[in-house]
Amino acid sequence: MLVGKKPYRTVWWERGTVKLVDQNLLPFSFRIASCKTFRETARAIENMTVRGAPAIGAAAGFAMAQAVLAGKTKEGEKLIKSTRPTAVDLFHAVERVANADDALEEAQTIADESAEACERIGKLGEKLCGARILTHCNAGWLACVDWGTALAPIYMRHRHGKRVFVYVDETRPRSQGARLTAWELRNEGVAHAIIADNAAAYFMKRGEIDCVFVGADRIAKNGDFANKIGTLEKAICAREFNVPFYVCAPSSTFDRKCANGDKIRIEERDEGEVLYQRGLCDDGKIRRVRVCSPKSHARNPAFDVTPAKLVTAYVTERGVFRSF
């Protein structure tokens, strides 16, 4: 991805340190976080300095390499696997690196494979991509090592000079759409509008959305998949209004050991993410403010599961699949 005309990956290795684009600071500040130990990298995964299934996988692979090089393989494996329970890429990466002859080489291979897979997803997905697309959460550069999953077909279409407009779900409570996807699209020069999460059905009914592209954190053997909370609602609306609904994910996101969506563990995060928001105030300072009724509590599931019957097709680096 390009930031200020300079190319970046979301996560990379530099002389023993894992470098990460700090996504908690975006879109108001662009900073590179440096994690010198596997514990620091694991903490960055847990607190969502890095997020998005493929990016988490790459970061987990590098964290595991740090653990192996420090002689802490078992400790590192246990710690890294405990950070985020839903995204299967993390577990695949940890196991690959832990069992490799050369841990660092394997971690770098995982990162490179991820970038190549996402570029391929972009090329295949472009053929399905209409001019007006709805996205949910962030499944672009920032969620991956490069290119993205759900946004890769959009970037391909845009770079080939075709008309494209993106409806960006804000994606509460962490607002990854409003904060991250919109930031990416602006950098790329793609026309877009942020919409409230509960506005998507309105635009679908009016015929203003040609297709929906989303990513995935884990895809079960039967095609059910977990993605950011709110994805299920979009899939139901898309079916009601005959809008094609596409899931874009590399093969590393498929979990053949998981029979169906009921077996996917759903992470529930701190209620503070719902009760508070952090943003740029009129005085130019970034502050955390409460946006909900004082003394009320909240529930905060980070993901939901969409059944395979609501998916038009799965776009992977290995091809487009209409069913399992």
Domain segments of the chain as ranges = 2-116, 121-267+301-321
Q: Which CATH superfamily is domain 121-267+301-321 in?
A: Translation initiation factor eif-2b; domain 2 (3.40.50.10470)
Average pLDDT, rounded, for the chain:
96
Would you state the pLDDT for residue 86? 81
Model confidence over 300-319: pLDDT tens digits? 999 999 999 999 999 999 99
pLDDT at 201: 98
> Taking 90 as the threshold, does the pLDDT of residue 37 lie above it?
yes
Checking if the pLDDT of 87 tops 90, the result is: no
pLDDT of 1? 82
Residue 138 has pLDDT above 80, yes or no: yes
Q: Which CATH class is domain 2-116?
A: mainly alpha
**Cβ-based neighbours of 249, under 8 Å, separated by 6 or more:** 53, 121, 149, 215, 216, 219, 225, 314, 315, 316
pLDDT digits 0-9 by tens, 9-31: 999 999 999 999 999 999 999 99
Q: Please say if the pLDDT value at position 296 is more than 80.
A: yes
Q: What is the mean pLDDT of residues 132-144?
A: 96
Task: Kindly give, in sequence order, each residue whose CB lies less than 8 Å from that of residue 293, ignoring residues fewer than 6 positions away.
Answer: none
Q: What is the dihedral of CA 198, 204, 208, 210, to 10 degrees?
A: 120
Distance (Å, whole) CA 148 – CA 183: 14
DSSP collapsed to 3 states, the chain: CEECCEECCCEEEECCEEEEECCCCCCCCCCEEEECCHHHHHHHHHCCCCCCHHHHHHHHHHHHHHHHHCCCHHHHHHHHHCCCCCCHHHHHHHHHHHCCCCHHHHHHHHHHHHHHHHHHHHHHHHCCCCCEEEECCCCCHHHCCCCCCCCHHHHHHHHCCCCCEEEEECCCCCCHHHHHHHHHHHHHCCEEEEECHHHHHHHHHCCCCCEEEECCCEECCCCCEEEECCHHHHHHHHHHCCCCEEEECCHHHECCCCCCHHHCCCCECCCHHHHEEEEECCCCCEEEEECCCCCCCCCCECEEEECHHHCCEEEECCEEECCC
Q: So which residues are the catalytic ones?
A: 217
Question: Which pLDDT belongs to residue 16?
Answer: 94
* Per-residue pLDDT tens digits for 170-218: 999 999 999 999 999 999 999 999 999 999 999 999 999 999 999 999 9
User: Can you give the pLDDT at residue 324?
Assistant: 65
- Calculate what percentage of the chain has a pLDDT beyond 90: 94
